[in-house]
Amino acid sequence: MAALKRIVNLSKSLKTMTTTSRLCCSQTSKKTYFTYVNEPSMPILDKEPCWLKTADEAIEKAELDSDQLVFVQGAAATPTELLRAMTEYGARCDVRNVRLFHMHLEGEASFAKPENAKHFRSISFFIGGNVRPAVQTGHADCIPIFLHEIPRVFNEGYIKPDIALIHVTPPDHHGYCSLGTSVDCVRSAVSNSTRIVALVNKYMPRTFGDAIIHVSHLDFAVEHHKPLPVHPVKPPSKEEQQIGKYIAENLVVDGATLQMGIGSIPDAVLSLLTSHQNLGIHSEMFSDGVVELVKKGCITNNRKTMHKGRIVGSFCVGSEKLYDFMNNNPFIGRYILYCLLFVMNMDKYHLMDFIEMLAVDYVNDPKIVAKQPNMTAINSCIEVDITGQICSDSIGTRMYSGFGGQLDFIMGAALSEDRQGKPIIALQSVTSKGESKIQPVLKSGAGVVTNRAVARYVVTEYGIASLFGKSLQQRSYELIQIAHPDHREALEKAAFARLKVMPAP
């Protein structure tokens, strides 16, 4: 009974804290990431969306017109049905020069095909494969930008969308929808768009944190129930598996906070962490590899000093298993459970599945990243030169992707407050054509995303190069040692020609 009374008192305290935070939020215009009653989550009195039967009607009602700016939600939450309707409407009504601002999009992206070039121009914050050909032929463009700064372009008026196309869950009984799998910069775009058109989909996972948006903020809504795009987990190659082994066994410690992207190398790392304990997740994105580690009790988030006990992310792409894991997975209910376990002295139990989806200007803020204990940031690249210059966004002058969150987390980990951060760049030693990814110099015109002063660890299937505090001569030696054996002699000769000294430890 005593334990039960403690739980009741705790519940009352939580209710009081919540009420107080709401009052504080309503009395100030200052934004906060921990109370969500301002902006899109604040109900607008006496307003509700115009519910339409088809996406075609929604686009027509939104009055899409020439020279307008349109924001499109991305990743697994790409509103593909709205994009289809928009593309057909643009061609049918001869709408011209509509600029679309977006991150990576899933789906066909027919608006970026040559026949639609006069109607639409894609402008990516991060280039996906479906718009890459248009970028490379000049029919589309991109904005080089740190991921954590994308919300600024909307909040500070650099881009003022006429229309925002988003993808949400059905509203709950309080009228709240969720942005689901992709929060990233969506809140800032929605807050600064003239009209909001939403695809409402029962298959969208309901997530929390900054994902919550009240239905009254939607201007036009259409129900379209269809499973989200999936990226099934592919088994890693033997080279990727070896890279994962080097990282898991040498660079990830118990209690580390992890950031990683999508792909075979991050999945290989995660698959080899099953003996680790009390890992945490603070990452702009995460995928299926996280789910199994949560189920095995390896990811508890208990060593985190911020968002303790919670997985923090901003967007994700993965399989249906991942989306099921994310659906209705809040932290408040689990916090009550944690308190119950604590007062009953059941310390052996740990919290397994807190997920908080937050805006990317918070998640990726290097100052926030630096506060995470044992911050271990695992990223990849296209090529690296023998001094540690890292190219991740282009192949020579040909734009390939974007800055993304790489430097946000590399800088955050490098400047970690506990001095235990590990910024890691992982890549296979050669391309599919056998060309070395470790080069004497980067290709002409290649973009440097992570510069040599910030580079710390570079990992290939041949080992780990530790670069911090090393001279150019030492760096070239470290990097040549992890290059493919077939290229080492040529790299040594090129290093001597460039540095006028032989690489040496």
Residue 119 contacts residue 90 (beta carbons within 8 Å): yes
Q: Helices 2-26 & 332-343, crossing angle to 10 degrees?
A: 150
Query: Which residue from 201, 356, 380 is spatially nearest to 284, judged by alpha carbons?
Result: 356
Quote the CA–CA distance of 469 and 475 in Å, as a whole number. 9
Q: Which of 393, 323, 376, 394 is nearest to 147 (CA)?
A: 393
Question: Could you write out the three-class secondary structure of 312-374?
Answer: EECEECCCHHHHHHHCCCCCHHHHHHHHHHHHCCCCCCCCCCCEEECCHHHHCCHHHHCCCCC
Provide the CA 237 distance to its chain's centre, in angstroms.
24
Nearby residues of 191 by Cβ (< 8 Å), 6 or more positions away: 39, 40, 154, 155
Handedness of CA 357, 46, 49, 218 (dihedral sign): negative
CA 80 – CA 229 distance, rounded (Å): 10
Residues 6+ apart with CB under 8 A from 177: 168, 169, 170, 171, 198, 200, 212, 213, 214, 215, 218
Q: For residue 356, indicate whether it is catalytic.
A: no
One of 106, 240, 284, 492 is an active-site residue; which one? 284
Residue 505 · residue 474 · CB < 8 Å: yes
> Which tokens hold the place of 388?
């540690």
Supply 230's token pair: 């999936």
Can you read off the two tokens belonging to residue 292?
């199994």
Catalytic residues: 284
